[in-house]
Amino acid sequence: MPLLQTQAISKSFGATRALREVSFEADSGRVLALIGENGAGKSTLMKVLSGAHLPDAGTMHLAGEPYQPAGPQDARKAGVAMIYQELNLAPDLSVADNVMLGCEMHALGWLNRHAQNRRVREALTTLGYPDLDLETPVNRLSVGMQQLVEVARALVMNARVIVFDEPTSSLTQNDVTRLFEVIRRLRESQRAVIYISHFLEEVREICDDYAVLRDGEVVGSGILQDVDESQL
């Protein structure tokens, strides 16, 4: 059974039909490439997944249960996390405070920093960065390391599906290499990863499966190793 499944999702904005009966599956321990040109419907689909938009028709299931997020917070609680191009961080706060933002831990009315730091460290260890200084303000980190902080926050919130929206658009090559290692670790931890990109060389390197969106419809899907680039 796929971890996340959409069936015939449709969404219109006035006379513009942004999504037309979109169906796809994302499996635990695999990376799904969502490929499409600008205007193909990728952003609208991600907003449906994240609860920012309600679909006009169709259904979604998460771990076999109906998935109908009423908003982004609902989606995060269910275990679906979005990593956008524009990172959602508090730049003057520390790594630890950013990772725990919105899910702080308290004991007897006091912030339990010891428990929080332990949880943050566990998330960073999963991602391969156990020694990252938790007290460093995130504005002192590279864009790639700030992205890592966002992913760690998703793990702390028990994300089962993590969606990356054009994640390499502002990264250096070193940061891209780091990101791909993080995604491999997410795959090993049996999360489902959705990777939105129009760079086929990246898709070939990091993804297992693919779905191609064109004019709001899925026009092709399958296992990447079974197709050549002319089909993508």
| H or E, element range at 170 | none
C-alpha 3/C-alpha 60 separation (Å) is 11
Could you give the strand order of the β-sheet that contains 65-66, starting from the edge strand earlier in sequence? 16-26, 4-13, 57-62, 65-66
Rounded average pLDDT over 168-190: 93
Interval 17-67: pLDDT, tens: 999 999 999 999 999 999 998 889 998 999 999 999 999 999 999 999 999
Which among 81-90, 91-100, 101-110, 167-176 has the top mean pLDDT?
91-100
Cβ atoms 90, 101 nearer than 8 A: yes
Q: In sequence order, which residues have a C-beta less than 8 Å from that of residue 38 and are 6 or more positions away?
A: none
Higher pLDDT, 78 or 108: 78
pTM above the 0.75 mark? Answer: yes
Decide if 160 contacts 191 (C-beta within 8 A): yes
Mean pLDDT of the chain: 92
CA distance linking residue 147 with residue 88, whole number of Å: 9
Residue-level pLDDT at 85: 84
pLDDT at residue 225 in the model: 84
In DSSP terms, 32 is beta-bridged to: 194, 209
Contacts of 74 (CB under 8 A, 6+ apart): 51
pLDDT of amino acid 3? 96
Task: Check pLDDT > 70 for residue 229.
Answer: no
The one-letter amino acid at 181: E
